[in-house]
């Protein structure tokens, strides 16, 4: 019997050693995986490359922009628009707009494409109903739509803002 106990204890010892070795093996793999992940994260976020934007460089660029001569905006008053509004009862909108353009190139382009710009504005105005243009928010939305549409029509010019000089709905 004593021999059987010795045999059973000898058989258990290698299994126990195998379990301990397996635990340390997985622990080692886990440590390697965590260290690899940390290393990759460091390389991806911090890295060894110097930042491309320096504070001194940005300050110098801003100073150059401030000191650079800026062109004054150019204003163009469009002829009066008289259009029918959408909806019932039929209403008429009479408006005169002034466009604020970024530079003289934009002014020349708007004058050169007068028919195209007027047509795009008339289409926008015709699609509006009285309830769309009555509140101040409606007028602000209309200004934004006109500026966006004109900027899509123009190649070089940029419409900065639209001003309503006259806005009458009957």
Q: Where are the alpha helices (DSSP H) in 46-158?
A: 55-67, 104-112, 114-126, 130-133, 136-153
pLDDT tens for each residue of 64-106: 878 877 778 889 999 999 999 988 889 999 999 999 998 888 8
Task: Check if the beta carbon of residue 100 is closer than 8 Å to that of residue 160.
Answer: yes
What is the DSSP secondary structure assignment for residue 158, as one 8-state letter? -
DSSP reduced 3-state for 157: coil
Task: Check if the beta carbon of residue 133 is closer than 8 Å to that of residue 93.
Answer: yes
Can you tell me the mean pLDDT for 122-144?
A: 91
pLDDT tens for each residue of 13-64: 566 788 888 888 989 999 999 999 988 888 777 756 666 667 888 888 888 8
- pTM for the full predicted model: 0.58
Q: Residues 6, 12, 13, 19: what is their CA dihedral angle, to the nearest 10 degrees?
A: 180
């Amino acid at each position: 019997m004593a021999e059987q106990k010795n045999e059973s204890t000898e058989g258990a010892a290698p299994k126990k050693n195998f379990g301990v070795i397996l635990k340390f093996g997985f622990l080692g793999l886990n440590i390697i995986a965590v260290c690899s992940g940390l290393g990759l994260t460091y390389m991806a976020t911090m890295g060894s490359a110097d930042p491309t934007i320096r504070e001194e460089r940005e300050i110098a660029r801003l100073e150059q922009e401030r000191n650079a001569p800026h062109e004054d905006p150019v204003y163009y008053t469009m002829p009066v628009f008289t259009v029918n509004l959408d909806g019932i009862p039929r209403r008429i909108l009479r408006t005169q707009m002034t466009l604020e353009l970024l530079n003289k190139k934009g002014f020349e382009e708007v004058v050169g494409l007068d028919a195209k710009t007027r047509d795009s504005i008339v289409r926008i105005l015709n699609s509006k109903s009285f309830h769309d243009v009555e509140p101040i928010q409606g007028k602000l939305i209309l200004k934004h739509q006109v500026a966006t549409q004109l900027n899509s029509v123009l190649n070089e010019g940029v419409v900065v803002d639209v001003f309503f000089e006259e806005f009458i709905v009957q």
